[in-house]
Amino acid sequence: MLRLASGCLPLILAALLASPCVHAQEAAAVEEAARWSIHGKVTAASDNHFRGLTLSNRSPALIAEATVAHETGFYGWAWASNVDLGDGADDVELDLALGWSKELGEI
């Protein structure tokens, strides 16, 4: 037979009563996470071209892109690549955007 100390009973009851609250919080967190979408990609290229001009001085380029969007239509976007313009400046191009997009319906 299992015997419990008299001081353990209140702790056990509190844990049992709190259990549904923890599950409700977990369900709410999962529901909130489902409202967001995250997409990304990484590309390795032999050269980084823009409008016919090389941006990487005919060297390999690594290009990364990421988008985070919420079901309300708000989104953030980032694009980065190594560049070599021969001017001694930083060798990374970083483009950032924030916006809102929503389908308005049929026209």
Q: φ and ψ at 17, to 5 degrees?
A: -75, -30
* pLDDT of the residue at 31: 67
N-to-C CA span, the chain: 74
pTM over 0.75: no
* pLDDT of the residue at 35: 87
Residues 6+ apart with CB under 8 A from 98: 74, 75, 76, 77
pLDDT per residue, tens digit, the chain (107 aa), is 445 455 555 666 666 666 665 555 566 656 666 689 999 999 888 888 888 888 888 888 888 999 999 999 999 999 998 888 777 776 888 899 999 988 888 87
57/53 Cα distance (integer angstroms): 9
